[in-house]
Amino acid sequence: MAVIKTEDLTYVYGEDTPFRKVAVDNVNLSIDEGEFIGVIGHTGSGKSTLIQHFNGLLKPSSGRIFIDGEQLWEDKARLREIRFKVGLVFQYPEYQLFEETCYKDIAFGPRNMGLSEEEIDRRVRETARLVGIDDTMLDKSPFELSGGQKRRVAIAGVMAMEPKVLILDEPASGLDPKGRAQILGLIREYHREKKNTVMLVSHSMEDVAKHCSKILVMNKAKVSMYDTPVNVFHRADELTAMGLSVPQVTKVFNRLKAQGCDIPEDVYTVGFGSELIMKILSQHKGADL
């Protein structure tokens, strides 16, 4: 069964004002459990608006949403329960830290869920380990940490709720390359360990190409593609027209293919690309000899 399903989901900002803006337009989606989905789209394409529907922060202007088969907004009293199933990490989540210590801040979500003290403690320590925050840091004030560390504490705060679906809105934005790699790595680690559904919003193709099982492309408030990376990157021209780009390696290999090289499938990671080149080169050597 699909863990998230939408039917004709539409959301309009500022209805009846001159600032009216359709941010999500008639989206029909069905997301399966355990998937690692990259959500990609130009700035302003409606990514953030779409994902805020999945845990009931925004109420659709029209259309329906089902989480785990249960319709959102049907019973408002159930909304909070459903929110625990879909964890949402906003962009720049470090701005939400407020507790005296990192430990308490990570425990905020689990505590709201009404878990026992032991369970809260287990979850806080486990997620802290997962995001690479050691025990001495847990007792520090979150305001003393570096930007990357703050970000990881904030992400841990949502992960500790162990949601069925974890959604992260541009979790690596505004960080240096090392920080980016760290954050993306720990998200992958989380997915590998927990096998939960993960949605990663980003506007960088390179970020999502590496780890995702599916890619969801948003363009002008609509979902224009929802497919495996291979199939999505195959439509490089369409992506370019939307102002998105395919990963650099994919560009190189698409060009090689266009020039008649025999390349079996689309390439979108550097590692796989170099393997392929080595293979082709060794074949050529064999032919030359």
Ligand X SMILES: Nc1ncnc2c1ncn2[C@@H]1O[C@H](COP(=O)(O)OP(=O)(O)O)[C@@H](O)[C@H]1O
Among 34, 44, 147, 271, binds ligand X (CB under 6 A): 44
Task: Work out whether 55 is an interface residue with ligand X (CB under 6 A).
Answer: no
Residues 257-276 that bind ligand X (CB under 6 A): none
CB of 68 to Mg ion, least distance (A): 25
Contacts of 28 (CB under 8 A, 6+ apart): 6, 7, 8, 9, 223
CB of 90 to ligand X, least distance (A): 11
Token pair recorded at residue 269: 């990671």
Instruction: Give yes or no for a contact between 11 and 223, defined as CB atoms under 8 angstroms apart.
Output: no
Work out what residue 272 binds among Mg ion, another protein, ligand X, none; the CB cut-off runs from 5 to 8 Å by kind. none
Token pair recorded at residue 97: 């830290």
Among 6, 38, 45, 48, binds Mg ion (CB under 5 A): 48
How far is the C-alpha of 78 from the C-alpha of 54, rounded, in Å? 14
Residue 186: count of CB within 10 angstroms of its CB: 19
Task: Work out whether 17 is an interface residue with ligand X (CB under 6 A).
Answer: no
Give the count of residues interacting with ligand X (CB under 6 A).
12
Task: Work out whether 49 is an interface residue with Mg ion (CB under 5 A).
Answer: no
Give the single-character DSSP code of 95. G
CB of 7 to Mg ion, least distance (A): 23
Work out what residue 286 binds among ligand X, another protein, Mg ion, none; the CB cut-off runs from 5 to 8 Å by kind. none
Task: Work out whether 202 is an interface residue with ligand X (CB under 6 A).
Answer: no
Task: Work out whether 83 is an interface residue with another protein (CB under 8 A).
Answer: yes
Bridge partners, residue 92, by sequence: none
- List the beta strands (DSSP E) in the chain: 2-13, 21-32, 36-41, 62-67, 70-71, 86-89, 165-169, 197-202, 214-219, 222-227
How far is the C-alpha of 78 from the C-alpha of 71, rounded, in Å? 10
Interacting residue ranges for another protein, rule: CB under 8 A = 16, 18, 52, 55, 57, 80, 83-84, 87-88, 90, 93, 95-98, 108-109, 112-113, 143, 157-158, 161
Interacting residue ranges for ligand X, rule: CB under 6 A = 13-14, 21, 23, 41, 43-49
